[in-house]
A and B are shown apart, each in its own frame.
Chain A
Amino acid sequence: MKKFSITLMALLLVAALGGCAGGKSSEDKSSASASTVETQGNGTTQDQTPAVDPKYGGKVVVGVQQDIDSLDPHKATAAGTKEILFNIFEGLLKVNENGSLICAVASDYSVSEDGLTYTFTLRDNVKFHNGKNVTAEDVKYSLERASGLLDGTVLVSSLQTLKSVDIVDEHTVQVTTGSANLELIYSFTTAIIPAGSGEAEGSNPIGTGPFSFVSYKPQEGLVVKKNPDYWQEGLPYLDEVNFKVVSGADAALLELKGHSIDLYSYLTDSQAAELANDYQIIAAPSDALQALFLNNKVAPFDNVKVRQAVCYAMDRDLANEFVTGGDGTIISAAMLPTLKDYYVDLNDVYGTGANVEKAKQLLAEAGYPNGVEFSVIVPSNYEAHVQTAEVLADQMKAAGINMSIELVDWNTWLEDVYRQGRAYQASICAITCDMTPSYLMVRFQTGHKKNFINFASSAYDEAYKKAEASMDLQEKAKYYKEAQKIFVDEAGTAFIQDPPITIALNKNLSGYKFYPIYVQDMSTVYYNNK
């Protein structure tokens, strides 16, 4: 996994020094990504350095799976919404396709030694879609609104440590935070919106992004048009993008075959195979962690040996082969390979194939010589998880592990697995993540609100706390790795893979970029003249 070679480490280094990586020259970027993007499986990578000149104009229809949950960039929580709003809104900073932060509304920034004060210099002449320039007022308003300083309601939870936002001068804003955290810098990607627009009655979303909002119809989709005043010169290429809500993978396949959408992610392996002649198929890791989550508090998984047995018995290679055509990345711990400096390959602990003997032995030791039975709750709307469950259920029988599948709808899943009850035995689903290692690791602390597997290990808690508090990157990485090792040894849960994301793209389109986070950046996409 070399794709996202510019890692957080490098990134934080930049952050610590201040200044922006992006906004320099486009060649720099493209060469960097060209060297890092790897061709995977049967997918092909979008050509990043086109031979033809980019063509301006045209319309593109992007199929999206989920409807928008809010048009307010601060209130939107669904990944499916964020991927669309990425094109309309920008923060002071912005993530680029390498996962590094580039300057957007801000042209430069610096962080104080103690990590408590952030100073942003605003870029000249950044215009909102309503034609007005972005002022320090707007930045102050946006950050205060998102962090809860405005009315007490925290909209972006990672910003809740903010103490104050002060306007230094017309072009400079200073942000003070209560506690130092190296990862906070990522939260400044929070959208900047015109002052007061969050409260103004009936206002349409107005941002500074490459595209401006045109219309939204529930269940149909959202339409944006080119922002002619976009600060990045030459971008975007397209005149109009229609993010069209598609009612499911099957419907999407039909629409793709009917050529009524130009771009669609989240294809299954066999769908991709079916479309290979008509579309450019590109695969990349989805940066989600798929796992067979085991409830550590409920029998039989309150016994560590049973958990380990499951880890041994599970044939992750087979699941990868069946469900994702072998394009997935097998993982064992709660860390993405993308976050290279924090990632440690622990696949050898239990092996990626099935170790039936070892599993049986462990089960016997745990007092289950005749095998165990349990039921796994799977959200029925995620085809990949359902299929994984089917494969594992069949394959683990050999080790005396009988898994019965129970499909539930998504809200039932949330209720049963994630919220109060947590009386489930096991579940297959995935955790999506952002670019911070803590996002994934924080939830497994004993008694943490999000610790839905009820994992409890004081050693893990200790290691995590150390990692979080550390202001030294090396040390931070060391503790994170330690925590992972503890988690895997305890077999807190049986991780499976980072499933690939497979995209079908109209053959006439070029310039598509993969992001390590869940966004669809349409600004660089253009029609080639082929």
Chain B
Amino acid sequence: MKKFGAWFQKQNMYLLVGLLMTGLAVVLGILSFFWTPYGTTTMSVAERFHAPSLRHLFGTDNFGRDIFSRVMQGIGTTVIVSSLIVLISASAGILIGAVTGYFGGILDEVIMRITDAVNAFPSILLALVVISILGSGKQNVVLSLGIVFTPSYVRIVRSEFIRLRDSDFVCRARLMGVSKLRILFIHILPNIWSVFWVSVTIGFNNAILAESGMSYLGIGVQPPDASLGKMLSDAQGYLGRAPWYALAPGLTIVWIVLGFSLLSEGVRRKEEKKK
């Protein structure tokens, strides 16, 4: 056992396990666009609430739909949606954080206040606002959660830019006459990746959880499309009768998030080792 621990760390099994877990999920998610064992919306009175078996790996739900197929589809939806959320919020975070952190001053004050305000704003209300302007649907959930998560990235990017803006190499770049835009995005930006990567990981996890939460509150992915969060919330009513219905999407979320966390931990360790 002792040896196993040392071996695990030395071989950086975090990376491998993380890769395997995420990889499996991603493969299933992509596969779901082309093929699922059963139709994701096919209902059957006779097949209702079947416990997991070889026929239905994860069992069936209250409509007799195959949960495994729906989980596959859910992974696809959830992973895409959360990736987009991270993409939006991280890009916005970099843009805003870089500018405010580097230049400071009044603009920084104003943007930080707005960031604080958005941060304190209930995400559900924000989602309602976005949806009432743009209508419901996946893309708008992405947008509203993208806005919700932006402040956290702004904060991180900003503090990193503040840390680096007076560093020697930036100072020298300024002396060389490098343009501000170039300093921001070519000189400084690559240096915050390691910190940023960590927050992207956390952000990705939060996005999955938040997307699930949105669906849970009924304003996310629309039925009959499956998303892991929506499935989990639907399943809650059948906890006693069909616990597998809740466990399947719940554990799948844990699986993906954990896989991704391990993956990023593995990457971090690898980077450290290189150094």
Q: Do chains A and B touch in the complex (CB under 8 A)?
A: yes
How far is A383 from B240 in the complex, measured between Cα atoms in Å?
18
Instruction: Find the B residue at minimum CB distance from A250.
Output: B236
How far is A391 from B48 in the complex, measured between Cα atoms in Å?
13
- Determine whether A298 belongs to the interface, using a CB cutoff of 8 Å to chain B: no
Residues on A with C-beta less than 8 A from B63 are 322, 387, 390-391, 394
- Determine whether A260 belongs to the interface, using a CB cutoff of 8 Å to chain B: no
User: Nearest-CB distance from A320 to chain B (Å)?
Assistant: 11
Residues on A with C-beta less than 8 A from B222 are 404-407
- Determine whether B132 belongs to the interface, using a CB cutoff of 8 Å to chain A: yes
Is A395 a contact of B240 with CB atoms below 8 Å?
A: no
- Determine whether B41 belongs to the interface, using a CB cutoff of 8 Å to chain A: yes
Please report which residues of chain B, range 175-207, place their CB below 8 angstroms from some CB of chain A when the two chains form the complex: none
Given A386-B223, A405-B224, A406-B222, A321-B237 contact (CB < 8 Å): no
Residues on B with C-beta less than 8 A from A268 are 237
> How many A-B residue contacts, CB cutoff 8 Å?
70
- Determine whether B62 belongs to the interface, using a CB cutoff of 8 Å to chain A: yes
| Dominant secondary structure at the A interface | helix
Residues on A with C-beta less than 8 A from B43 are 322, 390-391, 394-395
Please report which residues of chain A, range 362-405, place their CB below 8 angstroms from some CB of chain B when the two chains form the complex: 380-381, 383, 386-387, 389-391, 393-395, 404-405
Instruction: Find the A residue at minimum CB distance from B135.
Output: A406
Instruction: Find the B residue at minimum CB distance from A397.
Output: B41
Which one, A114-122, A214-222, A270-278, A302-310, is touching chain B? A270-278
Number of interface residues of B (CB under 8 A): 23
Is B237 a contact of A250 with CB atoms below 8 Å?
A: yes
Given A406-B136, A407-B222, A409-B218, A322-B45 contact (CB < 8 Å): yes
How far is A271 from B45 in the complex, measured between Cα atoms in Å?
17
How far is A380 from B240 in the complex, measured between Cα atoms in Å?
23
Please report which residues of chain B, range 108-156, place their CB below 8 angstroms from some CB of chain A when the two chains form the complex: 128, 132, 136
- Determine whether B42 belongs to the interface, using a CB cutoff of 8 Å to chain A: yes
Partner of B62 from A270, A318, A389 at Cβ < 8 Å: A270
Given A408-B136, A409-B218, A273-B62 contact (CB < 8 Å): no
Given A322-B43, A409-B218, A409-B219, A393-B237 contact (CB < 8 Å): no
Given A321-B45, A322-B43, A322-B62, A407-B223 contact (CB < 8 Å): yes
- Determine whether B238 belongs to the interface, using a CB cutoff of 8 Å to chain A: yes
Instruction: Find the B residue at minimum CB distance from A256.
Output: B240
Instruction: Find the A residue at minimum CB distance from B230.
Output: A407
Given A250-B236, A390-B63, A393-B224, A274-B241 contact (CB < 8 Å): yes
- Determine whether B254 belongs to the interface, using a CB cutoff of 8 Å to chain A: no
- Determine whether A249 belongs to the interface, using a CB cutoff of 8 Å to chain B: yes
Is B128 a contact of A409 with CB atoms below 8 Å?
A: yes
- Determine whether B251 belongs to the interface, using a CB cutoff of 8 Å to chain A: no
Residues on B with C-beta less than 8 A from A249 are 237
Instruction: Find the A residue at minimum CB distance from B239.
Output: A253
- Determine whether A412 belongs to the interface, using a CB cutoff of 8 Å to chain B: yes
- Determine whether A2 belongs to the interface, using a CB cutoff of 8 Å to chain B: no
How far is A274 from B237 in the complex, measured between Cα atoms in Å?
10
Report A238-281 CB contacts with B as 1/0, cut-off 8 Å: 00000000000110011001000000000010110110000000
User: Nearest-CB distance from B230 to chain A (Å)?
Assistant: 10
How far is A459 from B236 in the complex, measured between Cα atoms in Å?
48
Instruction: Find the B residue at minimum CB distance from A386.
Output: B223
Instruction: Find the A residue at minimum CB distance from B137.
Output: A406
Partner of A274 from B132, B223, B240 at Cβ < 8 Å: B240
User: Nearest-CB distance from A15 to chain B (Å)?
Assistant: 43
Most chain B CB inside 10 Å of its own CB: which residue of A389, A391, A394:
A394
Report B41-84 CB contacts with A as 1/0, cut-off 8 Å: 11101000100000000000011000000000000000000000
Report B238-264 CB contacts with A as 1/0, cut-off 8 Å: 111100000000000000000000000
How far is A394 from B49 in the complex, measured between Cα atoms in Å?
18
CB within 8 Å of B: which residues of A? 249-250, 253-254, 257, 268, 270-271, 273-274, 318, 321-322, 380-381, 383, 386-387, 389-391, 393-395, 404-409, 412
Closest 8 CB pairs of A and B: A380-B218, A250-B236, A274-B240, A274-B241, A394-B41, A407-B218, A390-B223, A390-B224
Known A253-B237, A393-B223; further 18 A-B contacts with Cβ < 8 A: A250-B233, A250-B237, A257-B240, A274-B238, A321-B45, A380-B219, A387-B62, A390-B63, A390-B224, A391-B43, A394-B41, A394-B43, A394-B224, A405-B223, A407-B219, A407-B223, A412-B128, A412-B132
